[in-house]
């Protein structure tokens, strides 16, 4: 199993490629097709048309590395997207490589930062029109950070 740093971003190219491609061609696809820098240290995942092979390109400190997985039976459950690439986290990649169908997986509710609720409560009681509340929401956002944007404009 791959062990990635938490700061490593993972990009999945949803368009099938010729899986025989190697380092430089895959790096060109990352640049031209996904619009990312292949030397950024992020992981780029590619699939073939039959969805039974996956190739991953990663820039280490001093060169490219390619990881390749071929299934003997079955296919990978690649998520469909209208975009050229999809960003995913390492847990999702692990599920994908393990053969779990991502469309049938449902993530359970987890704790969220209470600052968002507190900020929404404060913002709803602010006087003034929508523009003034929006400005005050920006001020609150800087003082009560949370993971979601303010929706009380």
Domain assignment present for residue 49? The answer is yes
Dist CA 55 CA 21 (whole Å): 9
Domain assignment present for residue 144? The answer is yes
* 24-32 mean pLDDT: 92
pLDDT in tens, 93-142: 888 888 888 777 776 777 666 655 665 655 555 555 555 545 555 554 55
Q: In DSSP terms, which residues pair with 84 in a beta bridge? A: none
C-alpha atoms less than 13 angstroms from C-alpha of 141 in its C-beta half-sphere: 13
Predicted structure pTM score: 0.66
pLDDT in tens, 32-78: 888 899 999 999 999 999 999 999 999 988 999 999 999 999 898 88
Q: Sheet of 85-88: strands edge to edge?
A: 64-70, 53-59, 43-47, 10-13, 85-88
Rg for the chain (alpha carbons), in Å? 21
Dist CA 57 CA 22 (whole Å): 9
Kindly state whether residues 56 and 128 are assigned to the same domain.
no
Extract the tokens encoding 137.
């929401």
Kindly state whether residues 81 and 120 are assigned to the same domain.
no
Q: How many CB atoms lie within 10 A of CB 115?
A: 16
Query: Domain range holding 50?
Result: 10-97
Number of domains in the chain: 2
């Amino acid at each position: 199993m791959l062990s990635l740093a938490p700061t490593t971003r993972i990009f999945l190219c949803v368009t099938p490629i010729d899986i025989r491609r190697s380092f430089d061609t895959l790096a060109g696809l990352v640049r031209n097709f996904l619009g990312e820098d292949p030397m950024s240290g992020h992981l780029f995942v590619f699939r073939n048309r039959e969805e039974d092979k996956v190739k991953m390109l990663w820039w280490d400190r001093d060169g490219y590395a390619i990881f390749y997985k071929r299934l003997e039976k079955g296919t990978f459950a690649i998520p469909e997207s209208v975009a050229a690439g999809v960003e995913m986290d390492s847990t999702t990649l692990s599920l994908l490589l393990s053969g779990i169908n991502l469309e049938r997986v449902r993530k359970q509710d987890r704790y969220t930062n209470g600052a968002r609720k507190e900020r929404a409560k404060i913002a709803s009681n602010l006087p003034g029109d929508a523009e003034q509340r929006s400005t005050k929401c920006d001020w609150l956002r800087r003082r009560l950070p949370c993971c979601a944007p303010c929706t009380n404009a």
